[in-house]
Chains A and B, each alone.
Chain A
Amino acid sequence: EIVMTQSPATLSVSPGERATLSCRASQTVSSNLAWYQQKPGQAPRLLIYGASTRATGIPARFSGSGSGTEFTLTISSLQSEDSAVYHCQQYNNWPPGTFGQGTKVEIK
């Protein structure tokens, strides 16, 4: 089973600043990597798939990059509504589509 490791566990960023989240796979997942946003009490929402393609309706301040085993989610100018937990998921080896443990983004 592929293990996904996210860092940091918690990220505190001021409004308007850049947030950079990392996700590492224990073996290559090609570009079959998704990012989800989960706000408190809500279901996850697909942000990015194919490592770098924004899902429908996702603002341009969210961008994804990487391939193989190293991936990054960048929020270019953090807004208050971006406070959430962000999960990465590999779907290259299916099943299971394993998830990282999540990164919590806090507004400083």
Chain B
Amino acid sequence: EVQLLESGGGLVQPGGSLRLSCAASGFTFSSYAMSWVRQAPGKGLEWVSGISGTGDSTDYTDSVKGRFTISRDNSKNTLYLQMNSLGVDDTAIYYCAKKVAGNRPFDTWGQGTLVTVSS
């Protein structure tokens, strides 16, 4: 069974940092591009960052460029999101999601981890 399990969320003060993880199982992790998608309270879905199967290509939405870093460890079947300089607008549930490389939809999502930025 294909599974994605996020962890690492929590309460952090503005300006703080947090590292999210997404443990994958049930598929050949290195064959799939991965992304982080977030959902602020009561809002729609927003793609945050993506990484290729090999990890040599990454992309970010403009609002997180220079603050967030996506990475993956294919030997551990794990995706990461290092989040620095967090602001209240970063408060959201963060989902990891997988897709085939190229113009394809997300075929599997994790259950999400909540990040709350508040003083």
Contact = CB atoms under 8 A, between A and B. Distances in A.
A44 B43 CA distance: 13
B47, B95, B112: most-surrounded residue (chain A CB, <10 A): B47
Q: Is the interface of B mostly helix, strand, loop or mixed?
A: loop
A99 B45 contact: yes
Contacts of A89: 45, 105-106
Contacts, number: 54
B29 interface: no
Given A43-B112, A87-B44, A89-B45, A34 B103 contact: no
Interface residues of A, number: 23
A96 B112 contact: no
B79 to A, nearest CB: 15
Nearest to A44: B109
Interface in A72-100: 87, 89, 91-92, 94-100
B45 A44 contact: yes
Contact of A101 (B44, B102, B112): B44
Interface of B: 43-47, 50, 59, 61, 95, 102-112
Given A95-B59, A99-B44, 15 more contacts: A34-B105, A34-B106, A36-B45, A42-B111, A43-B95, A43-B111, A46-B105, A46-B107, A55-B107, A87-B45, A89-B106, A95-B47, A95-B50, A96-B47, A97-B105
